[in-house]
Structure 1
Amino acid sequence: MALRATEWQKLPVSLTELCINTTLRCGQSFRWRKSAEDEWSCALHGRILSFRQDPEYLQYRAIFPSSRYATPPPSNNPSAAQSVVPEGDDTLSLVKHYFNLGPNLRQLYDQWASADNNFKKRAPKFTGVRILRQDPWEALIGFICSSNNNISRISQMVHNLCLHYGPLIGHVGGEPYHDFPTPESLAGPKVEQHLMKLGFGYRAKYIAKTAAMVAGDKGLVWLEGLCNPENPQFGVEPKPAGELVEGGREGYRKAHEELLALHGVGPKVADCVCLMGLGWSESVPVDTHVWQIAQRDYRFGKGKHSSLTAATYTAVANHFRKLWGKEAGWAHSVLFTANLKAFSERLIAKTKVKEEDVKVKAELDGSTVVEDTTRMKTAVKKKVKRALEDEYQVVEVKEKVVKRSKRRRE
């Protein structure tokens, strides 16, 4: 497939406003992968987007199929496809939209820190975490895959969905990049069985049935209609969305309730979709990580909230909305990221390495002294930080020499 790549462009964005090495791998989107050292790529809206970053700039480029300039590209978002002008390049607008670059993140962090000492304590190590504006359909299927799962395995599942059912956009470094599959492509009669063979387990049924519902009576128009009008789809003008009240704005509560009618969507998955696909920033998904945070740092886990019941789920989410306000879901995502093992301290140890030297020395009385010199390299367990960009592992090694002498008769 012939491709046309744009030149690398620079957008002035500091690491405190956006850190892609954290934002792209903290469990929001599952399709970004390393295409080169310090470079992330993904097929998005009919093109392959690549990013790299330095302390002052976000650098980006787009790779289009050559047909992109003759006909609209394949896309899971009809409004995005229609907004593409064949002679133009809307990549800058897409980048700003996708990374949600409008709000001043430093100000938001300061606001959340002033309201919460725990956030003030933990957030400085995790600056630049932004809530992505993802396609609602991709977010829905991605988070159905997240049920009782980890980020690595979810990413592999989503990659397989794109590889087997998404339109091929092109190759980077010999690796194929596919856009996200449409509801129609995942609603076929053999999809569930195929996904079972690919290791999706019980999620295969959920994906196939939800795809059939969205491809059928409901339609993508229904799903996109659940979006926060203040945080709409790419290419759509924002509108007011109402005031935040107990439990969230009316539009958020409606979106959450309607998502629960889909197969494989419980309260947590619905909240993930609301926050990271529909733009409802007060949505607070409460999973095991967030429950641990609530118990450890916010005095949950006792009395009537001793376990994570439906009532406790709501109580935790309402507590964070009251604490952090309209962008509570964003603030919660910063603490969620700080709680992930991928970004935490770790004890690392290394196998001992032994080196032996033997020296033989003759004595005048006819005996021989054999002097064994054993040089031992001993690894010392040490708590070290794993860098956010690259997961370096550091071991401090101490060396000591042990000498033993013994006498034997010849």
Structure 2
Amino acid sequence: MNWNKLLCNRNELQLLGTLNGGQSFRWTHNEDKDEWTGIFSKTVWKLKQSEDFLHYQIIGSLKKLPETKTSKGANESNFEMMLKKYFRLELPLTKYYEEWSEKDALFKTACKQFYGIRMLAQEPIENLFSFICSQNNHISRISSMVEKLCTFYGEEICEYDGVKYYSFPDVNKLSGSQVEQKLRELGFGYRAKFIQKSAAQIVEWGGEEWFDTLQNMKYKDARQELMKLCGIGPKVADCICLMSLNHLEALPVDTHVYQIAAHNYLPHLRGKKNVTDKMYTEIGDYFRHLYGDMAGWAHTVLFCADLKKFQTNDTSDIDNSKPKKKRKK
């Protein structure tokens, strides 16, 4: 299979930091070939990089692309547009890195190694339910849960090298009354209820079109609407705002973000056992003042640097949406 290529310098996109930094959970890395295989937009992709190009293959797709006399060229053009949108390649990242470096000495140091960290433009449905799975969880288990959702409720896209690939399910498929019980059997625990109830709420409020209204709202209003969903606390709401609703000032505050803030910027917050709502707001507002209207993206670079080359898989959630466990007597 031939590789298509898209002009994109490495400084503008680093696949490792972008695809392995806890934004999406559907990418795997073949280290021997330095190739990535993943799924978005009901399409299975294979990606690799050279110095000036992003190379890609389409392994399979459920997308119905318009037919023309030069259908192959048209298809490639459509897939290229999907890829540009997913990585937000229309935004000049090197320019933003320079601006953020001028504002913050810590960012200036971190960005030397963690260049090209892109904020993915994900589909809201996948983003929301993936981050419900992320609560009090680690990356390998989150990835396993997301794949179970796709295998049991998504559509098969294709089979490649003995592996079947599935699309992320439509919200209607997750809203059924039997979904919670099935997910509990599959090991989702309390998250099973959050997934089914949230899906039912979204269907009731208009389905995927409901997310369009959130995109057009101001950030904090959209965040407030998301927190009306079952099991969605401040951090998950901010993840969705940042990663799929184009509110790039949203800043999810988890354990790592709190530690970065307390150690480097807000020393009066050091040593706190819990992040209160007031502290959560203070941290987010501090970085929004520092970096501007793309603060969530800028801080993602610091987050990646804090993970120390991704040697840790901890993505502990400080949302208060998890029910307290009762000790067995």
Query: Shorter-chain TM-score category?
Result: 0.7 to 0.9
Per-residue CA deviations over 1:225-244 (Å, capped at 9, x if unaligned) read 2125xxxxxxxxxxxxxxxx
Per-residue CA deviations over 1:57-84 (Å, capped at 9, x if unaligned) read 110121335xx6xxxx4xxxxxxx6xx3
Structure 2 CA distance for partners of 1:195 and 1:323, relative to 1, 3 Å = same
Name which of 113, 137, 149 aligns with 2:137: 149
Contact 1:136 1:224 in 2 (8 A): no
Which position in structure 2 is the counterpart of 1:94?
A: 82
What secondary structure sits across from 1:262 in the alignment? coil
Query: Following superposition of structure 1 onto structure 2, how do residues 73-112 of structure 1 map, counting pairs within 5 Å?
Result: 73=63, 84-87=65-68, 88-89=74-75, 90-112=78-100
Contact 2:41 2:123 in 1 (8 A): no
Structure 2 CA distance for partners of 1:156 and 1:270, relative to 1, 3 Å = same
Contact 2:262 2:270 in 1 (8 A): no
Distance 2:191 2:268 in 1: 30
1:63 counterpart letter in structure 2: I
What secondary structure sits across from 1:218 in the alignment? coil
Structure 2 CA distance for partners of 1:289 and 1:304, relative to 1, 3 Å = closer
Are 2:157 and 1:161 equivalent residues in the alignment?
A: no
Are 2:191 and 1:203 equivalent residues in the alignment?
A: yes
What secondary structure sits across from 2:146 in the alignment? helix
Q: Which has the higher contact order (CA 8 A, sep 6+)?
A: 2
Which position in structure 2 is the counterpart of 1:22?
A: 17
Are 2:10 and 1:43 equivalent residues in the alignment?
A: no
Distance 2:55 2:198 in 1: 37
Are 2:18 and 1:10 equivalent residues in the alignment?
A: no
Distance 2:142 2:273 in 1: 29
Q: 1:213 offset after TM fit, Å? A: 1.3
Distance 2:157 2:273 in 1: 49
Name which of 260, 263, 279 aligns with 1:312: 279
Give 1 or 2: higher strand fraction. 1
Are 2:303 and 1:336 equivalent residues in the alignment?
A: yes
Query: Following superposition of structure 1 onto structure 2, how do residues 228-307 of structure 1 map, counting pairs within 5 Å?
Result: 251-302=218-269, 307=274
What secondary structure sits across from 2:208 in the alignment? helix
Q: 1:18 offset after TM fit, Å? A: 0.3
Q: 1:306 offset after TM fit, Å? A: 7.9
How well do the aligned residues superpose, as a CA RMSD in angstroms? 2.1
Which position in structure 1 is the counterpart of 2:113?
A: 125
Distance 1:251 1:151 in 2: 30
2:154 counterpart letter in structure 1: G
1:164 counterpart letter in structure 2: F
Contact 2:100 2:291 in 1 (8 A): yes
Structure 2 CA distance for partners of 1:98 and 1:188, relative to 1, 3 Å = same
Q: 1:304 offset after TM fit, Å? A: 12
Distance 1:318 1:270 in 2: 16
Contact 1:28 1:276 in 2 (8 A): yes
Distance 2:270 2:264 in 1: 16
Structure 2 residue runs without a partner (length 5+): 69-73, 313-329
What secondary structure sits across from 1:161 in the alignment? helix
Contact 1:191 1:208 in 2 (8 A): yes
Contact 2:134 2:142 in 1 (8 A): yes
Which position in structure 1 is the counterpart of 2:29?
A: 34
What secondary structure sits across from 1:169 in the alignment? strand
Distance 1:322 1:209 in 2: 36
Structure 2 CA distance for partners of 1:217 and 1:12, relative to 1, 3 Å = closer
What secondary structure sits across from 1:114 in the alignment? helix
The TM-score normalised by the length of structure 2 is: 0.87
What secondary structure sits across from 2:144 in the alignment? helix
Q: 1:97 offset after TM fit, Å? A: 0.3
Distance 2:249 2:267 in 1: 20
Per-residue CA deviations over 1:342-388 (Å, capped at 9, x if unaligned) read 5359xxxxxxxxxxxxxxxxxxxxxxxxxxxxxxxxxxxxxxxxxxx
Contact 1:31 1:155 in 2 (8 A): yes
Contact 1:186 1:207 in 2 (8 A): yes
Distance 1:122 1:217 in 2: 42
Contact 1:43 1:169 in 2 (8 A): no
Which position in structure 1 is the counterpart of 2:315?
A: none
Q: 1:191 offset after TM fit, Å? A: 1.2
Aligned length: 304
Distance 1:301 1:185 in 2: 47
Name which of 193, 207, 212 aligns with 2:181: 193
Distance 2:270 2:301 in 1: 27
2:27 counterpart letter in structure 1: W
Distance 2:203 2:46 in 1: 30
Which position in structure 2 is the counterpart of 1:52?
A: 48
The TM-score normalised by the length of structure 1 is: 0.70
